[in-house]
Amino acid sequence: MNRDTWFTVQKIDEMTYAISEYGHWEKVHSFLLVGEEKAVLIDTGLGIDNIKRITDQLTHLPVEVITTHVHVDHIGSHGEFKKIFVHEGDKEWLVNGIEGLSIEQIRKDINREITLPKPATFNPDTYHPFQGEPTGLLEDEDIIHLGNRELIIYHTPGHSPGHICIYDATNGYLFTGDLLYAQTPIYAFYPSTNPVDLVNSLEKISNIENINVVFGSHNTLGLHPKILEEVKFAVKYLKEQKLASFGTGIHKFKGFSIQF
């Protein structure tokens, strides 16, 4: 583990790093996957500090950004990178701004419950989420080759229309973004979310084979793949009880919870 003034870098293996922002209440993780030919950065964090400073230290290969979804805490340093990819379902938000969130609310949320010294470059009063055209669009079952490792894209809407998960088939790592993580509820209660889609997406990832570790984008770093068995139970329960709809509240399962 290596602590920067803002970021915490944790080595998952010799070619994979978690870049975490534990000084903020959202406890966001971004992930750098290094290949032989290029590297992929899964999300770019909050934008309170410049994550490219960290990726420059970890690899000299060209870095392409894959966006799990277009929410503020996942696109913070997008403007620092030349190649940015997003699913078509979230392209509109990347270009024109995130639906249903005022800039006042965004600035309030980004600046609360910060426990580390804020970088001098960070000013919550002028903070503005990245907006811009992506380099390209991702589709379900796209395969990205890094030379010596293969990434498979899974479209998993619900938390956002264009949410994706990324499966590193070479190492058995599943990066689930905000579809699945521990400790705090998975959110699907905003007007821009879709509870039915979220449950279907959870079912989709629970059927991926040969997963060794699940990496959500918040809180606990690295979850045992047995959590996917509980996901299967949760999907069955939520469907049978017809609970996948707005206003049904928080549903708790072993290792995770969901709020509709």
Instruction: Give CA–CA dist 260/249, Å, rounded.
Output: 5
Q: Is residue 236 part of a domain?
A: no
Q: Is residue 220 part of a domain?
A: yes
Domain interval for residue 85: 2-184+204-225
Q: Is residue 141 part of a domain?
A: yes
| DSSP annotation string for 189-217 | -STT--HHHHHHHHHHHHT--S--EEEES
Q: Is residue 245 part of a domain?
A: no
Domain tally, the chain:
1
- Where does residue 72 rank: exposed (0-12), middle (13-18), buried (19+ CB within 10 A)? buried
Per residue in 55-90, pLDDT (tens digit) is: 999 999 999 999 999 999 999 999 999 999 999 999
Per residue in 158-205, pLDDT (tens digit) is: 999 999 999 999 999 999 999 999 999 999 988 889 999 999 999 999
Q: What is the pLDDT of residue 55?
A: 97
Q: Is residue 196 part of a domain?
A: no
Q: Is residue 258 part of a domain?
A: no
Instruction: Give CA–CA dist 213/90, Å, rounded.
Output: 26
The enclosing domain of 50 has a CATH number of: 3.60.15.10
Higher pLDDT, 3 or 208: 208
| DSSP annotation string for 47-103 | SSS-THHHHHHH--S-EEEE-S---GGGSTTGGG-SEEEEEHHHHHHHHH--TT--H
Per residue in 111-148, pLDDT (tens digit) is: 999 999 999 999 999 999 999 999 999 999 999 999 99
How sure is the predictor about 2, in pLDDT bands with cuts at 50, 70 and 90? low
Q: What is the pLDDT of residue 191?
A: 82
Q: Is residue 72 part of a domain?
A: yes
Q: What is the pLDDT of residue 101?
A: 81
Q: Is residue 189 part of a domain?
A: no
